[in-house]
Structure 1
Amino acid sequence: MTDVVLDGVEKVYPGGQVAVRDLRLRIDEGELFVLLGPSGCGKSTVLRMIAGLEEVTTGDLWLNGSVANGLAPRERNVAMVFQEGALYPHRTVKGNMMFPLEVSGDDRAEAGAKVVELARALGINSMIDRLPGTLSGGQRQRAAIGRALIREPSLFLMDEPLSSLDAGLRTELRIEITALVRSTGTTTVYVTHDQVEAMTMADRMAVLRDGLLEDVGTPEQIYEDPATVFVAAFLSSPPINLLQATLWAVEGEGLVLDFGSQRLSVPWNDPRASSLISHHGRSVIVGVRPDTLLPVTPGSPAPPGTTLSGRIRAMEFHGHEWLAYAEAGVPTADAAEVGRPPPPEPRDPGRPGMRGRLRTLLGGPVRDDPPVEEHAGHHRRSDLVFRIAPGNRPQRGDHVALRVDLSRVLFFGADGHRVTPVHR
């Protein structure tokens, strides 16, 4: 087993494309650590730098207390599983799993017994004499995982190994991989874009966006106490309500969240009031998860400043519940754009070319630089999304009042970062 430390690590590709920026992260020994984020956020690049398949441009990568920037992949004692498994097609399952032990010169009889034992744990012992082409996608991935684990690496790296499988098989393998990795105690770094995989598998996780670290913590910490708007929205299904408001400190009423046509009030005795008051007169983004909105029963009025209202525009049946969308006339924020870091200035880690020298000399872009593309972003309709249990429920077109559990509301500044303290 080993621990991993990334200290100010950056990756810049030839031509100046910056894939990872100033990443500072520690992965503890024996931990199942998940790197989560959308496509293109840099998570696979981080994994490949740890494996030694990509060079670190700047910063230091530490493995088990030693700087590993210059180590070749074979010197790092890591094993990696890719999205497609990458088995040798001419070797049986047993032959694929035996291969690392053959290379290292292990006793053949002992290696064979080890393969059978691991194949049984992976549920593929009945097919160890079959070729990869005769296996299903899930069986091939099990064999690939077995080949990676058989030589007992100090570090296990997995790059979206379940993304090409159907939903039912992903769930089954997710449980098995988690149990197997934890039973071996091998430090594991797992890359995925699937929030369910991250939340259910990780001891701790990091969320990346555009090559930058947005948040790191346990799944519970990141879900309940996200550091940014992006993290709150990315780990939210159904989607979190992100409402734009102006915050006012009003004597005798509390901290008023003014949405224009509606308002909420946070009482002065709320423990977050001391942090919120610094945003008096400023714009804030209010994060309200669907399960913090509860339809008010007619004849049971809620206290003033605790409800929002709207007219139901659409409903979706999800078996165990309904999801309702109520048109509320409240401005919403687009998590994809809020707090998005500016694109990094392209830079070449090597000697600057002619265009780079001209840019330095002229103090600005060269004439034929491509124009910067403007992104207006997509803004969701001003709906309030909330959950309804099966049974008595409102209908489309009905007007509803929704009581807000203010203790669970999240507050973000216009830059997308939390206004109130984030606890880790």
Structure 2
Amino acid sequence: MTDVVLDGVEKIYPGGHAAVRNVRLRINDGELFVLLGPSGCGKSTILRMIAGLEEITSGDLWLNGSVANELTPRERNVAMVFQEGALYPHRTVKGNMMFPLEVSGDDRAEASARVVELARALGLNTMIDRLPGTLSGGQRQRAAIGRALIREPSLFLMDEPLSSLDAGLRTELRVEISALVRSSRTTTVYVTHDQVEAMTMADRMAVLRDGVLEDVGTPEQIYEDPATVFVAAFLSSPPINLLQATLWAVEGEGLQLDFGSQRLLLPWDDPRASWLISQHGRPVIVGVRPDTLTPIAPGAPARPGTVLSGRVRSLEFHGHEWLAYAGAGIPVVDANRVGRPARAGYTEPERPGLRDRMRTLLGRPAVDAAPPEEEHAGHHRRSDLVFRIGPGERPNPGDHVALTVAFDRMLIFDAAGKRVTPVRR
């Protein structure tokens, strides 16, 4: 068993590219900890630095109370599983799982018994004498996990081990991996870009962007109480509504969120009021998840300042629910463009417009003064509000809808994308 501490760890590659920036993180003994983020955010680099496969540029890595920067991977007693299991093709499942024990000189009979027992736990007992080439992708990954676990490492590292599998196998294997890791009580660091894997598997998790740690906590904490706009958007399916507003403190009324064409009013007795008043007259970002918007029956009364309205543009059927997309005339925010850390010496290149790119592909000269390429904000490019619809409540495209807002679950961020109110951890 071991705990892991990253104390100001950085990784800067030749040329000045900072893959990981000043990461401070503690992973507790026996914990299943998930590193979550989009491709290129630095999560796999952190995993490789923990394993000893990447040199740390600055900062310290502590394993079980001792600085481990200079230790070799073998001295760290870690086991690692990658996206592809990388099994030895000429060895059977049993031979692959036996290999680490053979290298360490374990008694062959005892090693064989351990392999058979672990293979049974992994559901591989009926294929233990088969070669990797005869196995499915999920079976190969189970064998790779078994080969890593059989050594009884102090630390288990997994780098997107399910990303190449189909959805059904991913669901099955993430349940098996979670149960197996927890039963072994081996400290595990699991890297993924899949929010469902992270939310369902993690004891705690960290969200990264551009090498920077954005948030750390339990899945429930990070989902319900995200520290930044990026975290709120990344852990959101269907996508969270991120709405641009200006906050005004109105004497005798409360805190007004002015969206231009519409307004919401938080009363002064709202527990967040003492924090939000610091944003008086400033732009803020209001996060409203689709399940916190409830359609009001046509003709039903609504208290002013508690409702957002719009016209339904489209509907999506998701089997267990419908999603509605409504235009409300409210400016929306692209989370990927808010609060992004600046990269020293880097300037975002100018990209040609769509028309210029098409003319280049067709071998035609670019046209001067081409109209600028339309920008969009991910899922919000056609709609201002996304909301869920229960059975029997479905409006039609073109219908006007009024939506009550659950104020207690509304998230408010400053213009830089940081939560205005304290984040509870």
TM-score, normalised relative to structure 1: 0.93
Task: Give the residue type in structure 2 aligned to 1:373.
Answer: P
Distance 1:238 1:300, change over 3 A: same
Name the SS for the 2:9 alignment partner. strand
- Aligned residue in 2 for 1:272: 272
- Aligned residue in 1 for 2:364: none
How much does 1:301 deviate? 1.3
Alignment of 1:373 with 2:357, yes or no, is: no
Alignment of 1:25 with 2:1, yes or no, is: no
How much does 1:18 deviate? 1.1
Name the SS for the 2:336 alignment partner. coil
- Aligned residue in 2 for 1:294: 294
TM-score, normalised relative to structure 2: 0.93
Task: Give the residue type in structure 2 aligned to 1:127.
Answer: M
Task: Give the residue type in structure 2 aligned to 1:378.
Answer: H
Task: Give the residue type in structure 1 aligned to 2:398.
Answer: G
Distance 1:180 1:335, change over 3 A: same
- Aligned residue in 1 for 2:4: 4
Moved over 3 A (4+): 374-378
Task: Tell me the alpha carbon deviations over residues 351-377 of structure 1, each in whole angstroms, 9 at most, x when there is no partner.
Answer: xxxxxxxxxxxxxxxxxxxx6425896
How much does 1:174 deviate? 0.4
Task: Tell me the alpha carbon deviations over residues 157-192 of structure 1, each in whole angstroms, 9 at most, x when there is no partner.
Answer: 000000000000000000000000000000000000
Name the SS for the 1:35 alignment partner. strand
How much does 1:343 deviate? 1.3
How much does 1:13 deviate? 1.2
Matches of 1:294 and 1:276 in 2, distance apart?
Answer: 24
Matches of 1:247 and 1:17 in 2, distance apart?
Answer: 38
Matches of 1:257 and 1:129 in 2, distance apart?
Answer: 66
What is the number of equivalent residue pairs in this alignment?
A: 400
Task: Give the residue type in structure 2 aligned to 1:96.
Answer: N
Is the Cα–Cα contact under 8 Å of residues 85 and 144 in structure 1 kept in the other structure? yes
Is the Cα–Cα contact under 8 Å of residues 334 and 377 in structure 1 kept in the other structure? no
Matches of 2:103 and 2:274 in 1, distance apart?
Answer: 63
- Aligned residue in 2 for 1:329: 329
Alignment of 1:36 with 2:36, yes or no, is: yes
Alignment of 1:53 with 2:29, yes or no, is: no
Task: Tell me the alpha carbon deviations over residues 127-177 of structure 1, each in whole angstroms, 9 at most, x when there is no partner.
Answer: 010000000000000000000000100000000000000000000000000
Task: Tell me the alpha carbon deviations over residues 268-304 of structure 1, each in whole angstroms, 9 at most, x when there is no partner.
Answer: 0000000000100000000000000000112321211
Name the SS for the 1:336 alignment partner. helix
Please say which of residues 74-83 and 380-389 is displaced more in the overlay: 380-389
Alignment of 1:190 with 2:166, yes or no, is: no
How much does 1:393 deviate? 1.5
Matches of 1:243 and 1:372 in 2, distance apart?
Answer: 25
Matches of 1:382 and 1:268 in 2, distance apart?
Answer: 31
Superposition pairs for residues 13-412 of structure 1, below 5 Å?
13-345=13-345, 372-373=348-349, 378-379=376-377, 380-412=381-413
Task: Give the residue type in structure 1 aligned to 2:148.
Answer: A
Task: Tell me the alpha carbon deviations over residues 182-223 of structure 1, each in whole angstroms, 9 at most, x when there is no partner.
Answer: 000000000000000000000000000000000000000000
Distance 1:74 1:377, change over 3 A: farther
- Aligned residue in 2 for 1:417: 418
Gapped regions of structure 1 (runs ≥ 5): 347-370
Is the Cα–Cα contact under 8 Å of residues 336 and 377 in structure 1 kept in the other structure? no
- Aligned residue in 2 for 1:349: none
Task: Give the residue type in structure 2 aligned to 1:210.
Answer: D
Task: Give the residue type in structure 1 aligned to 2:291.
Answer: D
Is the Cα–Cα contact under 8 Å of residues 330 and 382 in structure 1 kept in the other structure? no
